[in-house]
Structure 1
Amino acid sequence: MKFVVDTHSHTVSSGHAYSTVLENAKAAAENGLQLLCLTDHASSMPGAPHFWHFANQKVIPRFLHGVGILRGVEANIMNTAGQVDVLPKVEEHLDWVLASFHEPVFTPSTPDAHTEALLNVIKSGRVDALGHLGNPNFDFDFERVLAAAAEAKVLVEINNSSLSGSRIGSQPRCERIAEIGKEVGVKFTTGSDAHFAYDVGKFDSVMALFEKTKIDESAIVTTSASRFLGFLESRGRTPISEFQSLC
């Protein structure tokens, strides 16, 4: 099994990351990626860029260092109503919307509140994937949320950074998420959550988890560029024609 898409990466624009788009793309090429999603933090996160940053990603070439570049955002889940901090007029310019809980934006609450928020995010239809769900600060009803994600065809991310120590306690939770997700038919995505170019395309911990939980490659959209692009096209996002050379 090989991952050829990294669906979660940050640049200096996120405010607490340390590499540029070009540096991340170069690292992606060196690590054998075919596609890289740019997912700087949306504007509610401290230090994050103005929404113009996301709307203007059209100036970034579709290929850098031979790697296809997808214009995205890591949106913040704002409240139990499932609102995210991406304006609809900005979303029109994006290929990929990942949504996550972040402590500075959504103060950790009860499992019921987190579950309600995630279910409403899924129902909104505005989000392609849920990021780093293994965070123990945001416990939730795994069965309800994962079943809803599978039904709505919203991807569930397995986050390499979480498994490598950035969110202590994520490992057993991510294993359980993978196991339940497999039972209910979830499709998974893989994000390095790189905040420095060195980590782009690094998935050692994700690979070990998928092998341990015996997740079939066909359930992981990032094992094939055409599979990932087909997923985006099914959601009305990026036309495959822009990346025809990868299909």
Structure 2
Amino acid sequence: MEISVDTHTHTISSGHAYSTVLENAAAAAQRGLSIMCVTDHAPTMPGAPHFWHFANQRVLPRFLHGVGVIRGVETNILNTAGEIDMDDRILSMLDWAIASFHEPIFRPADAKQHTQALLNVIQSGKVDAIGHPGNPNFDFDFEAVIKAAARHNVVLEINNSSLSGSRAGSEQRCEDIAACIKEFGGRITTGSDAHFAYDVGNFTFVKQLLAKVDFPCEQVVTYTPSSFLSFLAERGRAPIEEFSVFHNA
């Protein structure tokens, strides 16, 4: 399976990543990606940029090195109410929003509390994807969350970084999550979670996992640029005029 879109990348603005937007875009072009999402950490993450950073993404060109640029954010899930650390006004300026658990922000608790937080953030309508759900520090009720995500048209992420050692113990959980999504009819997105340019568009372990569970291409929103843009349209995101070239791709 080829994957055309990387929906989770970080730049030097995240504070613990090491490449610029231009460097990431050049790496994405080398990998043959069509679209790259810029998803720096939202403000409550230590070292993360001010909210102006996200509001000002309008200055980013829609194409860099021939790769389409999606303006996004990786927000932090703050509590069991499913609140996130990004103002609605800023979210409305962006194309794409991920919500993730991060240990410095949400202290790991029990599966019941994690499940409640995920259900609430999914039902809020504010985010398009749940980032790195395979993290073993944040156990949750797979069936309940996956079914809720399918109902509310939110995708769960299969994260290449999680599968390559950044979150030890994620491999089997990610496989189980993918199998459950296949069974219950949800969809996934694919993110490198790159914190250095060379990892942008690296889906080596994602592809191995999807092949292992025989995951259907039609349930992968990043399979083609048009499938990703169609998903954004389903989410009510405004069309991006410059990306009309992708609609049949």
Which TM bucket (shorter chain)?
A: over 0.9
Mapping of residues 34-49 of structure 1, within 5 Å? 34-49=34-49
User: Which residue matches 1:60?
Assistant: 60
User: Which residue matches 2:92?
Assistant: 92
> Within 1, Cα distance between the matches of 2:225 and 2:3?
9
Shift of 1:240: 4.5
> Within 2, Cα distance between the matches of 1:240 and 1:83?
28
User: Which residue matches 1:209?
Assistant: 209
- Counterpart AA for 2:173: R
User: Which residue matches 2:169?
Assistant: 169
User: Which residue matches 1:132?
Assistant: 132
SS of aligned partner of 2:228: helix
User: Which residue matches 2:2?
Assistant: 2
CA RMSD of aligned residues (A): 0.7
Summarize deviations over 1:142-185 as a string: whole Å, max 9, x none. Answer: 01000100111100100000000000000000000001111111
Summarize deviations over 1:198-232 as a string: whole Å, max 9, x none. Answer: 00000000000000011011110111100100110
Instruction: Tell me if the contact between 1:135 and 1:169 (Cα under 8 Å) persists in the aligned partners.
Output: yes
**TM-score (ref. length: structure 1):** 0.99
Mapping of residues 73-222 of structure 1, within 5 Å? 73-222=73-222
> Within 2, Cα distance between the matches of 1:51 and 1:175?
35
SS of aligned partner of 2:22: helix
- Counterpart AA for 1:215: F
> Within 1, Cα distance between the matches of 2:58 and 2:211?
37
Summarize deviations over 1:97-155 as a string: whole Å, max 9, x none. Answer: 00100000000001000000000001100010000000000000001000100111100
> Within 2, Cα distance between the matches of 1:240 and 1:49?
25
> Within 1, Cα distance between the matches of 2:86 and 2:159?
22
Shift of 1:235: 1.2
User: Which residue matches 1:28?
Assistant: 28
> Within 2, Cα distance between the matches of 1:75 and 1:242?
26
> Within 2, Cα distance between the matches of 1:163 and 1:18?
20
> Within 2, Cα distance between the matches of 1:218 and 1:148?
19
Summarize deviations over 1:35-74 as a string: whole Å, max 9, x none. Answer: 0000000000000000000000000000000000000000
Q: What is the percent sequence identity of the aligned residues? A: 63
SS of aligned partner of 2:164: helix
Instruction: Tell me if the contact between 1:114 and 1:139 (Cα under 8 Å) persists in the aligned partners.
Output: yes
Show structure 1 runs of 4+ deviating over 4 A. Answer: none
Name stretches of at least 5 consecutive residues in structure 1 with no aligned partner.
none
Instruction: Tell me if the contact between 1:233 and 1:240 (Cα under 8 Å) persists in the aligned partners.
Output: no
Shift of 1:238: 4.0
Name stretches of at least 5 consecutive residues in structure 2 with no aligned partner.
none
**TM-score (ref. length: structure 2):** 0.98
Higher helix share: 1
